[in-house]
Amino acid sequence: MHQEGGTNMKNLKKWTAALMLVALFIGSFSFAGSAQAAGSGEQLIIINKKTNQLAFFDNGKLNSTFPVATGKTQDLTPEGKFKIVNKIKNRPYYKDNIPGGDPKNPLGDRWIGLEVGSTYGTTYAIHGNNNENSIGKYVSAGCIRMHTDDIHWLFDQVNKGTYAVITSSSLSFEQIAANNGYSLNGNGTFTGSVFVNGKLNTMDDDIMTIDSRLYMPLREGFEMLGGTVNWNAKTMTVTAKVGGKSIVHKAKAKTAKVNGKAVNMTASRFVGNKLYIPLRDVSKLSGYTVKWYGTENVVSLIAPK
């Protein structure tokens, strides 16, 4: 009995050790998969066929933009959200039997393959070129061409598993990214709704998130509130009348005069060639009540009574 019990105990220990090894083996694959998913989720590529521009997002921010060439006709370059499934150096051009790395190869020397339908990176890709003058034009059979230096850089930066969104849009890259579930950090376009006195408003120039603050385009914002705005380019000064208040503000200054009295504010700033002011300071300057409902992603402005 004693010998049999000892044998059973030894067998139990062997089985336990084996199970632990299996668990560790499976676990190593699980963690590797999680790490890859997290890494790929930090990046996004957007190709806008309307502008023939490619944007590369990394760690929640727009990192770089590049000119590209797309399909000769609108339908040749497919639209949608496609995963990068392979990255190949010096891929041959099988159709015309041109070796990889050959200067005549229309694919260039870098291939970032996209999973479009059942093609699994074999048909559609972001790749190089054999004619730099073609970039920026509608000339390809469906793939996205880049300048040689640009595709070399992108090839080294982008991870397999990253998604590429191909679209034709008038929206900003940040807006397209947000619409596709990409989490933006720091700067970007506000993707929520703006209500003035309970009425939904649309804006030609977006409210922006800059350094985690919301900024509103000054001219369009004040005009949306029923005000008038005059800009003196020589002195870089805005004079506005909004909500019964007279406002004078010099671009990038940390103060403004409201009905002749100095008011402290966060400095305004230019986005492109347009002046933006912090949304929270609109209340100080105009008398409007400003509320931001973060959960609903809604900005509400209500006129003073």
Q: Which pLDDT tens digit goes with each residue over 264-298?
A: 999 998 887 889 999 999 999 999 999 988 778 89
Closest to 67 measured CA to CA, from 157, 116, 129: 129
Tell me, yes or no, if 147 is annotated catalytic.
no
Q: Which residues contact 267 (CB under 8 A, 6 or more apart)?
A: 252, 253, 254
Class of the domain covering 45-179: mainly beta
Pinpoint the alpha helices (H) of the chain: 2-41, 148-157, 173-179, 218-224, 279-286
Q: What average pLDDT does range 198-213 have in this prediction?
A: 86
pLDDT over 80 (residue 20):
no
Q: Which DSSP state fits 158?
A: P
Q: Which DSSP state fits 155?
A: H
**Cα-Cα end-to-end distance for the chain:** 94
User: CA 208 to CA 190: how far, in whole Å?
Assistant: 5
Structure tokens, 114: 């996209």
Q: Determine the residue type at 115.
A: E
User: CA 99 to CA 91: how far, in whole Å?
Assistant: 7
Q: Are strands 80-89 and 163-167 parallel, antiparallel or unpaired?
A: antiparallel
pLDDT over 80 (residue 97):
yes
Q: Which residues contact 139 (CB under 8 A, 6 or more apart)?
A: 69, 72, 145
User: CA 263 to CA 115: how far, in whole Å?
Assistant: 56
What's the confidence (pLDDT) of residue 136?
95
Domain ranges of the chain: 45-179, 188-302
Candidate list 2, 127, 147, 249, residue with the active-site label: 127
pLDDT over 80 (residue 2):
no
CB of 25 closer than 8 Å to CB of 143: no
pTM: 0.53
Beta bridge pairs of residue 67:
53
Q: Would you tell me how many other CB atoms lie within 10 Å of the CB of residue 94?
A: 9
What's the whole-number average pLDDT of the chain?
85
Instruction: Return phi, psi of residue 113, to 5°.
Output: -80, 140
- Coil/strand/helix, residue 9: helix
- For the segment 191-202, what is each residue's pLDDT rounded down to a tens digit? 889 999 999 999
Q: How far is CA 27 from the centre of its chain?
A: 33
What's the confidence (pLDDT) of residue 37?
32
What's the confidence (pLDDT) of residue 49?
97
CB of 197 closer than 8 Å to CB of 302: yes
Tell me, yes or no, if 152 is annotated catalytic.
no
Class of the domain covering 188-302: alpha beta
Averaging pLDDT over each range in 19-33, 114-128, 281-295, which range is the top one? 114-128
Half-sphere exposure of 287 (CA within 13 A, CB side): 14
Candidate list 2, 143, 152, 249, residue with the active-site label: 143
